[in-house]
Amino acid sequence: MRIFEDTYLHKGLRKQLIDFLRDERKITDEDVLAAMNRIPRHFFLDSAFDRIAYEDRAFPIGEGQTISQPYTVAYQTQLLQIKKTDSVLEIGTGSIYQASVLAEMGADVFTIERQKKLFDAQEKFPLKDKYPNIHFFYGDGYQGLPDYAPFDKILITAAAPYIPEKLMAQLKVGGKMVLPVQDIDDAQTMLRITKNDDGTWEEETFDRFSFVPMLKGNV
């Protein structure tokens, strides 16, 4: 059985990554950076990645999927403007790293994964007891979780072809959804949607990113 240890070496490399995100990548939300500084990212990766887990890179997590790059996690979390009492719906559990950042910030996290193998990995998640505020669901993110709606925030961590209308319906008035929407080329533009009380919404556009696709149905 693998023993998970957060050594001084890991902590030192993590601190360097956080400083890089602040100084070079211009992440300004100190609550986001502090949460990321408390989470051992190497726990979310195969032990083969132990030494490189604190590089600002995406890594494979199996089933053709990736753990998002730390910069991308910081960027999306910052756009969400997380408050301690927020209930957050996340589409694309993947490695559980992004869900842990949200949980570490005090949010109640409802996360959906469409790949059974990745979903099942949550049973062995080493920080499961630390984050009872992460709730895991197996299914198709396009459907959301109507039984737990409405949510203060919704985060999509895969490339969406459009703004999924069922998710818009599960967002609170005044709530925010952050998602990368597919452009005509290979990349996506990050959007932040704020829902108005008359059913319309405001759209803000941010930088371009490259995510794995948000696919239909579950496997």
The two structure tokens encoding residue 141: 């993110």
Q: Does 163 bind ligand SAH (CB under 6 A)?
A: no
- The region of 20-28, 140-148, 179-187, 201-209 touching ligand SAH under the rule CB under 6 A is 140-148
Quote the CA–CA distance of 91 and 47 in Å, as a whole number.
26
Contacting ligand SAH (CB under 6 A), which of 27, 49, 86, 92? 92
Which residues, including other chains, have CB under 8 Å from residue 102's CB and lie 6 or more apart? Answer: 77, 80, 82, 88, 90, 109, 155
Q: Does 87 bind ligand SAH (CB under 6 A)?
A: no
Contacting ligand SAH (CB under 6 A), which of 43, 97, 110, 151? 97
Contacting ligand SAH (CB under 6 A), which of 43, 59, 110, 142? 142
Please count the CA atoms within 13 angstroms of the CA of 21 that sit on its side-chain side. Answer: 31
Out of 47, 68, 87, 210, pick the active-site residue: 68
Cα–Cα nearest to 141, from 120, 121, 115, 122:
115
How many residues contact ligand SAH, by CB under 6 A? 23
Quote the CA–CA distance of 177 and 195 in Å, as a whole number.
8
Q: Does 112 bind ligand SAH (CB under 6 A)?
A: yes
Q: Does 69 bind ligand SAH (CB under 6 A)?
A: no
Is 68 a residue of the active site?
Answer: yes
| Pair 61, 114: CB distance under 8 Å | no
Q: What does the binding site for ligand SAH look like in residue numbers (CB under 6 A)?
A: 65-68, 91-92, 94-95, 97-98, 112-115, 118, 140-142, 157-158, 212, 214-215
Catalytic residues: 68
